[in-house]
């Protein structure tokens, strides 16, 4: 059988092929974090660099794996959770997948409460990870387009269920561990990978964990790092605009609410991306870079290019963004 840990081409390059002790992980949890930073030089040959953090390579397939791990770890440390106790969360699918992975390894049953509007591929993935999936009918959204009111309804159901089951309720929109996961993980990883050479950071906002935590760390290290929050066009609440288009295809972000984690002092600007632009960049990422990712990842790349071409960051800036989830969930 092929050993995945051995680089078969290393010998021909004259490198040693010994597998280090660290090559063996103790569980799937070891696959969370330390994601690669990929240069998107076919989409952006320059001037400057566009680097993308490939969050979709984690076992739950998205950036939310980090928040899931940190939330469960912190709940154990605080004595709020112990093996066997159920865990409940309202999720658009990605947090649920991360929680399913973490809960399986830790020995906690997991119940995912989802709006019916999220893609069926997400519910299937959760079920194949052994999670109990509770689907909540939509209030005013449509399939593939989940609104703030749909999220509210699903949240109510999740809170109810957590109470009746005596479960730990994750509450990602209010749980600060989600921000800390990025402040202690994503931010430092980016900083180290670029050796401090970073001018801009661009990220889409759902609960705000990724944007707030990462920006907070980067700005602490280098206050001039220009941080841009990405919103769907027509649902630009963070830009202070009225929400005119609550239904959009960029799942996982843009619920038309200012999330509780939001910290306005970290956002130097907001950038809007339309459904058409997100769909176009999703294809570009696949066709030019070989990266099959979701709509929010594509929106991040589109917004990063808008920032790079604005000239705001100087002649040859480095911009880092997030590839939030795998395109296989759509
Ligand atoms: C596909 C996708 N992109 C982006 C995000 C935004 O991440 P955050 O909640 O950290 O703002 C989410 C969150 O669920 C998501 O599912």
pLDDT of residue 5: 42
Tell me if 247 sits within 8 A of 233, measured CB to CB.
no
Residue 7 C-alpha to ligand 1 middle, in angstroms? 33
Q: Are residues 81 and 43 in the same domain?
A: no
Give me the chain's average pLDDT, please. Answer: 93
Q: Is the pLDDT of residue 80 over 70?
A: yes
Note if 64 is an active site residue.
yes
Domain end residue (candidates: 115, 135, 169): 169
pLDDT of residue 20: 54
Q: Is the pLDDT of residue 108 over 80?
A: yes
Structural domain count, the chain: 2
Range of the domain at 103: 64-169
Q: Is the pLDDT of residue 287 over 60?
A: yes
Q: Are residues 158 and 87 in the same domain?
A: yes
Ligand 1 closest atom vs CA 324 = 3
pTM tops 0.95? no
Residue 63 C-alpha to ligand 1 middle, in angstroms? 7
Ligand 1 closest atom vs CA 261 = 11
Ligand 1 closest atom vs CA 259 = 11
Q: Is the pLDDT of residue 139 over 50?
A: yes
- Per-residue pLDDT, averaged over 302-326, amounts to 97
Residue closest by Cα to atom 16 of ligand 1: 252
Confidence band of 311 (pLDDT split at 50, 70, 90): very high
Ligand 1 closest atom vs CA 205 = 11
Residue 211 C-alpha to ligand 1 middle, in angstroms? 9
Least confident among 66-70, 246-250, 272-276 = 246-250
Going from the C-alpha of 136 to that of each of 8, 113, 115, 167, 246, the distances in angstroms are 48, 7, 5, 19, 18
User: Greater confidence, 11 or 250?
Assistant: 250
Percentages (nearest 5) of helix, strand, coil residues in the chain: 40, 15, 40
Q: Is the pLDDT of residue 2 over 70?
A: no
Q: Are residues 145 and 193 in the same domain?
A: no
- Per-residue pLDDT, averaged over 15-25, amounts to 62
Residue closest by Cα to atom 2 of ligand 1: 252
Residue closest by Cα to atom 13 of ligand 1: 252
Residue closest by Cα to atom 6 of ligand 1: 206
For residue 84, tell me if it sits in a domain. Answer: yes
Q: Are residues 247 and 322 in the same domain?
A: yes
From 119, 178, 207, 296, the catalytic residue: 296
Cα 216 to Cα 195: distance, rounded to the nearest angstrom = 17
Domain end residue (candidates: 140, 169, 198): 169
- Report the first-to-last Cα separation within the chain, whole angstroms: 32
Confidence band of 231 (pLDDT split at 50, 70, 90): very high
Least confident among 200-214, 242-256, 279-293 = 242-256
Cα 264 to Cα 262: distance, rounded to the nearest angstrom = 6
pLDDT above 70: percentage of residues in the chain: 93
Q: Are residues 224 and 280 in the same domain?
A: yes
For residue 113, tell me if it sits in a domain. Answer: yes
Domain of 325, CATH number, reads: 3.40.50.1100
Q: Are residues 123 and 37 in the same domain?
A: no
pLDDT of residue 281: 98
For residue 286, tell me if it sits in a domain. Answer: yes
Residue 5 C-alpha to ligand 1 middle, in angstroms? 31
Residue 13 C-alpha to ligand 1 middle, in angstroms? 40
Residue 53 C-alpha to ligand 1 middle, in angstroms? 14
Q: Are residues 124 and 86 in the same domain?
A: yes
From 64, 85, 219, 329, the catalytic residue: 64
Note if 296 is an active site residue.
yes
H helix runs in the chain, sequence order = 64-77, 94-106, 120-128, 148-165, 177-181, 187-194, 209-221, 275-289, 295-310
- Per-residue pLDDT, averaged over 192-212, amounts to 98
As a three-state string, the secondary structure of 17-56 is: CCCCHHHCCCCHHHHCCCCCEEECCCCCCCCCEEEEEEHH
Give the three-class secondary structure for 134: strand
Q: Which of 60, 69, 70, 94 to mutate to test the pocket of ligand 1 (most atoms within 8 A of CB)?
A: 94
Give the residues surrounding ligand 1 with Cβ less than 6 Å away.
Answer: 62-64, 92, 94-95, 204-211, 251-253, 294, 296, 324-325
- Per-residue pLDDT, averaged over 73-101, amounts to 96
For residue 5, tell me if it sits in a domain. Answer: no
pLDDT of residue 8: 39
pLDDT of residue 78: 98
Q: Which of 64, 71, 99, 263 to mutate to test the pocket of ligand 1 (most atoms within 8 A of CB)?
A: 64
Cα 201 to Cα 219: distance, rounded to the nearest angstrom = 10
Q: Are residues 147 and 199 in the same domain?
A: no
Q: Are residues 162 and 186 in the same domain?
A: no
Q: Are residues 184 and 307 in the same domain?
A: yes
Q: Are residues 46 and 113 in the same domain?
A: no
Residue 228 C-alpha to ligand 1 middle, in angstroms? 15
């Amino acid at each position: 059988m092929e050993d995945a840990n051995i680089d078969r081409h290393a010998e021909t390059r004259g490198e040693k092929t010994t597998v280090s002790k660290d090559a063996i992980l103790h569980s799937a949890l070891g696959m969370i974090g330390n994601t690669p930073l990929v240069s998107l030089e076919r989409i952006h040959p320059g001037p400057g660099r566009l680097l993308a953090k490939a969050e979709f390579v984690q076992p739950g397939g998205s950036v939310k794996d980090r928040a899931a791990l940190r939330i469960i770890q912190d709940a154990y440390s605080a004595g709020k959770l112990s093996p066997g106790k159920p865990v409940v969360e309202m999720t658009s699918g990605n947090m649920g997948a991360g929680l399913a992975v973490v809960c399986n390894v830790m020995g906690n049953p997991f119940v995912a409460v989802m709006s019916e509007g999220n893609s069926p591929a997400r519910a299937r993935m959760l079920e194949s990870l052994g999670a109990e999936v509770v689907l909540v009918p939509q209030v005013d959204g449509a399939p593939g387009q989940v609104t703030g009111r749909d999220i509210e309804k699903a949240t109510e159901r999740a809170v109810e269920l957590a109470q009746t089951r005596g479960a730990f309720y994750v509450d990602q929109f209010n749980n600060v561990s989600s921000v800390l996961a990025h402040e202690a993980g994503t931010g430092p990883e980016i900083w180290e990978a670029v050796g401090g050479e970073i001018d801009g950071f661009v990220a889409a906002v759902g609960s705000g964990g990724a944007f707030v935590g990462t920006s907070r760390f980067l700005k602490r290290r280098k206050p001039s790092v220009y941080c841009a929050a990405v919103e769907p066009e027509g649902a630009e609440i963070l830009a202070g605009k009225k929400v005119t288009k609550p239904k959009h295809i960029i799942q996982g972000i843009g619920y038309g609410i200012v999330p509780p984690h939001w910290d306005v002092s970290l956002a130097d600007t907001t950038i809007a991306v339309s459904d058409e632009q997100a769909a176009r960049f999703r294809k570009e990422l696949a066709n030019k870079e070989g990266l099959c990712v979701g709509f929010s990842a594509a929106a991040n790349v589109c917004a990063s290019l808008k920032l790079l071409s604005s000239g705001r960051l100087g002649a040859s800036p480095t911009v880092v963004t997030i590839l939030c989830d795998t395109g296989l969930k759509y």
